[in-house]
């Protein structure tokens, strides 16, 4: 009996290791290659309920409504990407000019004021501060130049591949959206009844999980927007609401984050002598970072059905393995696995149903009752 338990344990570990390897390989190789078709699948899944609604309520043909909705969805998406791309390009193109015309004079002014304050300390302080200032300007100037050049080079080199992938995604979306019923029949007729039932349940669970996942991050973005709005208002920033919205959207993107804006902004204000606004901006940076570290695992976990600790672990492991994409994607993968397990499509971590039902209802499982009676 013990040998049988050991064998089952070994097989379960090997099975879990295989699943982990498949997920890793999928993230590393398959998802980047299949990204246009995954995007097409997501867009189709989002507009299909609306296509069905228009067909039932207003008798609009499904293909016509699908074509109109896909066109509308991609126009919005392309417009947003265009605005973000233009903003990044303008910033990267003007980074060196801004550094020479804005940053360097402010640093020189701050250095002069610091020299005046330390004038009576010693004769060697002024040359030392001057040397530190020159090295600081040189290092920051080099970094700004390299960073902006890398951004421009990266945008130029990735633009052809991005355009090709976009074309494939748009065309695939049109095919999927206009032939949804045909694709469903194709899949249904080539599966057994039991497998297709479980596959349909798994798809509905996946759709439900992704929707709640997106709502969770929308809620996080709204909380960040509220924090930034109050902070920018207290700091006296012009167009504080618009700036807060921009930074909140920037904060939700993978790899990027509000700290890439608020922290350098606060340091710049402190260097230029605007201490009040600099301190307020630094406090805003701390509040946003600390609050997000606490609320993100809890909100995402509650929406997708994962414990906050599991969500936090998935975010950390995903970031270590896949960078910014893993920060968002890996918790979603864990949530999808749990939903597939609940739908009966997977059996990765089997548990006794009577024990699960007893614990969920607050009753004691049979083993606990027997041990008490004994």
Per-residue pLDDT 10s for the chain (374 aa) are 567 777 777 887 787 788 778 877 877 788 788 889 989 988 998 898 899 899 888 888 988 999 999 999 999 999 988 887 887 888 888 888 878 887 788 778 777 777 777 676 666 677 777 888 888 888 888 888 888 888 888 888 888 988 999 999 999 999 999 888 888 788 778 777 777 777 777 777 777 777 787 888 888 889 989 999 999 999 888 888 888 888 888 777 655 567 778 888 888 788 777 888 889 989 998 998 888 888 888 887 777 777 777 877 887 888 787 776 777 777 877 877 777 777 666 666 655 544 444 444 444 444 444 444 44
Distance from C-alpha of 366 to C-alpha of 310, rounded to nearest angstrom: 28
Distance from C-alpha of 51 to C-alpha of 68, rounded to nearest angstrom: 10
How many domains are contained in the chain? 1
Joined together, the tokens standing for residue 286 give 């701390």
Task: For residue 256, tell me if it sits in a domain.
Answer: no
Task: For residue 278, tell me if it sits in a domain.
Answer: no
Question: So what's the pLDDT on residue 148?
Answer: 86
- What sign does the dihedral 133-134-137-138 (CA atoms) show? negative
Let me know: does 110 contact 271? Beta carbons within 8 Å: yes
Residue with tokens 């228009």: 54
pTM: 0.65
- DSSP state, residue 345: S
Q: How many CB atoms lie within 10 A of CB 211?
A: 14
- What sign does the dihedral 198-201-207-209 (CA atoms) show? negative
Task: For residue 137, tell me if it sits in a domain.
Answer: yes
Q: Mapping DSSP to helix (H, G, I), strand (E, B) and coil, where does residue 1 land?
A: coil
Task: For residue 265, tell me if it sits in a domain.
Answer: no
Task: For residue 305, tell me if it sits in a domain.
Answer: no
At a CB cut-off of 8 Å and minimum separation 6, what does 241 contact?
229, 232
Burial class from Cβ neighbours inside 10 Å (0-12, 13-18, 19+) for residue 51 reads: buried
Let me know: does 66 contact 180? Beta carbons within 8 Å: yes
Task: For residue 197, tell me if it sits in a domain.
Answer: no
Task: For residue 289, tell me if it sits in a domain.
Answer: no
Task: For residue 173, tell me if it sits in a domain.
Answer: yes
At a CB cut-off of 8 Å and minimum separation 6, what does 12 contact?
none
From first CA to last CA, the distance across the chain in angstroms is 25
Residue in 51, 149, 46 with CA at minimum distance from that of residue 92:
149
Q: How many CB atoms lie within 10 A of CB 54?
A: 19
What domain range includes position 160? 35-179
């Amino acid at each position: 009996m013990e040998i049988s338990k050991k064998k089952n344990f070994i097989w379960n570990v090997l099975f879990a290791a295989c699943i982990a390897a498949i997920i890793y390989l999928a993230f590393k190789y398959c998802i980047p290659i299949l990204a246009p078709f995954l995007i097409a699948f997501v867009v189709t899944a989002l507009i299909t309920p609306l296509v069905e609604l228009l067909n039932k309520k207003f008798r609009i043909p499904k293909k016509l409504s699908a074509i109109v909705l896909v066109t509308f969805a991609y126009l919005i998406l392309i417009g947003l990407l265009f605005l973000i791309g233009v903003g990044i390009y303008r910033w990267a193109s003007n980074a060196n000019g801004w550094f020479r015309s804005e940053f360097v004079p402010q640093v020189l002014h701050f250095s002069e004021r610091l020299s005046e304050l330390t004038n009576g300390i010693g004769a060697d302080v002024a040359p030392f501060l001057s040397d530190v200032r020159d090295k600081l300007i040189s290092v920051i100037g080099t970094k700004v130049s390299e960073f902006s050049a890398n951004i421009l080079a990266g945008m130029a080199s990735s633009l052809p591949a991005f355009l090709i992938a976009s074309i494939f995604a748009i065309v695939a979306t049109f095919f999927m959206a206009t032939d949804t019923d045909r694709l469903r029949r194709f899949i249904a007729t080539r599966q057994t009844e039991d497998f297709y039932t479980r596959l349909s349940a798994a798809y509905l669970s996946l759709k439900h999980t992704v929707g709640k996942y997106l709502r969770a991050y929308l809620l996080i973005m709204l909380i960040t927007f509220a924090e930034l709005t109050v902070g920018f208002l207290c700091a006296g920033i012009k167009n504080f609401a618009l700036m807060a919205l921009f930074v909140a959207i920037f904060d939700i993107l993978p790899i990027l984050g509000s700290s890439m804006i608020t922290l350098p902004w606060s340091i710049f204000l402190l260097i230029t002598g605007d201490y009040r606004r600099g301190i307020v901006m630094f406090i805003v940076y701390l509040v946003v970072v600390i609050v997000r570290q606490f609320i993100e695992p809890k909100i995402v976990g509650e929406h997708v059905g994962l414990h906050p600790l599991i969500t936090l672990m998935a975010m950390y492991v995903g970031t270590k393995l896949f960078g910014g994409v893993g920060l968002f994607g890996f918790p979603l993968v864990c949530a999808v696995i749990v939903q597939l397990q609940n739908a009966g499509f997977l059996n990765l971590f089997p548990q006794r149903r009577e024990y699960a039902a007893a614990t969920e209802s607050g009753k004691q499982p049979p083993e606990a009752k027997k041990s008490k009676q004994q």
